[in-house]
Amino acid sequence: TFDKILIANRGEIACRVIKTCKKMGIKTVAVHSDVDSSAVHVKMADEAVCVGPAPTNKSYLNMDAIMNAIKQTGAQAVSVCVCVFMCKAAEGVSFIGPDTHAIQAMGDKIESKLIAKAAKVNTIPGFDGVVKDAEEAVKIAGEIGYPVMIKASAGGGGKGMRIAWNDEETREGFRFSSQEAASSFGDDRLLIEKFIDNPRHIEIQVLADKHGNALWLNERECSIQRRNQKVVEEAPSTFLDPDTRRAMGEQAVSLAKAVKYSSAGTVEFLVDSKKNFYFLEMNTRLQVEHPITECITGLDLVQQMIRIAMGYKLQHKQSDIPINGWAIESRVYAEDPYKSFGLPSIGRLSQYQEPLDLRNVRVDSGIEEGSDISIYYDPMISKLVTYGKTREEALKKMEEALDNYVIRGVTHNIPLLREIIVHPRFVSGDISTKFLPEVYPDGFKGHMLTAGERRELLATAAALYVAVEIDGEKVEVSGEWNLASALLPLTINGKHRTLQVYKHAYFKLRVLSKLAASLSKHMPEKVPEDTSSILRSPMPGSVVAVSVKPGDNVAEGQEICVIEAMKMQNSMTAAKAAKVKSVHCKAGDTVGEGDLLVELE
């Protein structure tokens, strides 16, 4: 096989590739931006090369710098998960992934849809050309019929995508989608298609070699999403029967063969309530959620990609591919789940402990205690994967793993993940891409304690507080707990519980003496801020545009400014009709969470 591979990516996926390379005896080269010089993937690799400053377009997407790193290190192959370097590398350098033709054909949503149609793959009705401007978008949307999906032709990862239910939303969606697409992919072309309301998002993993052989490795259920980005995935799906699974798999393989695909790839489908399925897109890279496929098939997909890049034939036939057990993946993000199901959070991981002491738990991460989560990159902390012989077993293990995961220093989405996996609708398999807004129509508010849980929490807090000494002898009323530990395993009325006690906990408890409690009623209460008259940034990011100036009159819901974080643009609007008193930001400013942007009179 190869002697040395350069990995042109960062974070958990770079670490994932390095692990398999080590297993195969292949030396690795990491590339990194200047702010990532101490990152985990850099420490794991045998060599490392700095390719530029923090912004991705100046480092990880800087083709010239990547090519120089390849030549400098003598790497024989390049593993690129972003798939933007069309491997115009020095002669003799292999690309671990599909060839340029397949990447370009499937990376362009317009072209890929035309190819899918020709390969007899079910497609969504829509306009197959490039939309020129907002007014043409409105005209096309009217012809297709609302609702419509506006999305970047070169897009992926939920960026450059908007759903529109009327002409005004189409104009706004066109503007934001084209700006996000240009920022994320350097390509602002958009397409419009019919929005399939309330579908499931189910994808098929494919594996193809350079000799015309291709397999489908079963499906992944990816319907739990926020802002078109996946949050919880599982394999297999509770919804598919063997016939639908086979039909989807065969169409996925047909598409892969149509573009002479060779590597691991994913064909994504929308599936309606009657099990009709429609081609969405093909991802020509190793997907974030690939570990759950590895769990149920026993295949190492990175190893398979490296073998294929070397020119080997597939080792397996379709009949060899099993579904063994059940696997679930939770995407753990540095996000505030109480804001739009997750707006980015930044900070340093002051304490970090993965639940790897539990059986059948896998954590794919690219960070460690002390790592910084910055505004420059995706806010993913890790992919938490649990496996079981049954779905129930995998879910129970996920519950335990989330309870035992310690993350301090940044806000994270574990409270939301924990609620999803125990929700009756999720447990029963009654899900769609609208699961989160349907289950939490007013946004996620956190876990609502039952009367029993409330009593347990109060008793535990009181027990933690109590310690008694009598005649020099210490009596541990609270039990043998190590309060220096991040985790407190308890048994309450015969039930096992795992608690974490820290400053920024989900449930705020204060233990007061009788005197302090009696005097607290005389303390003045803090008056809540009038949020209708001020606009604060809900997350750290940069100001893309400011639409108002002091003295302007604004209507309720009118856009005041646009904040970009992790390449997603967010429109900040007025909470009421008012006059602009003062503006505290301008385009290009970097803002922190809670920073004052605009004051209204």
Torsion of Cα atoms, 191 then 134 then 587 then 578, to 10°: -130
**What angle separates helix 100-107 from helix 109-118, to the nearest 10 degrees?**
100
**Catalytic hit among 169, 180, 221, 281:** 281
CB atoms within 10 A of CB 549: 10
Residue 533 CA: distances (Å) to CA of 100, 298, 570, 581, 593:
53, 57, 19, 9, 18
β-bridge partners, 163: 149
Q: What angle do CA 27, 32, 35 make, to 5 degrees?
A: 145
436 CB-near residues (< 8 Å, 6+ apart): 224, 225, 226, 231, 341, 420, 444
Q: For residue 136, give the 3-state DSSP assignment.
A: helix
For residue 281, indicate whether it is catalytic. yes
Q: What span, in angstroms and rounded, lies between the C-alpha atoms of 532 and 519?
A: 33
Which token pair is 463?
């027990």
SS (H, E, C) 265-312: EEEEEEECCCCCEEEEEEECCCCCCHHHHHHHHCCCHHHHHHHHHCCC
Euclidean distance between CA atoms 111 and 365, whole angstroms: 34
| Structural element, H or E, at residue 67 | helix 63-73
Determine the Cα–Cα distance for residues 395 and 399; give it in Å rounded to an integer: 6
Instruction: Give the number of residues written for the chain.
Output: 601
User: How many Å apart are CA 163 and CA 185, to the nearest integer?
Assistant: 20
Token pair of 168 as six digits: 């005004």
Q: Does residue 184 sit in helix, strand or coil?
A: helix
Token couple for 119:
């390969």
**Cβ contact 292:329 at 8 Å:** yes
Hey, what are 583's tokens? 């503006």
CB 132 within 8 A of CB 109: no
379 touches 331 (CB < 8 A): no
Whose CA is closest to 210, among 276, 308, 136, 300? 308
Catalytic positions: 281
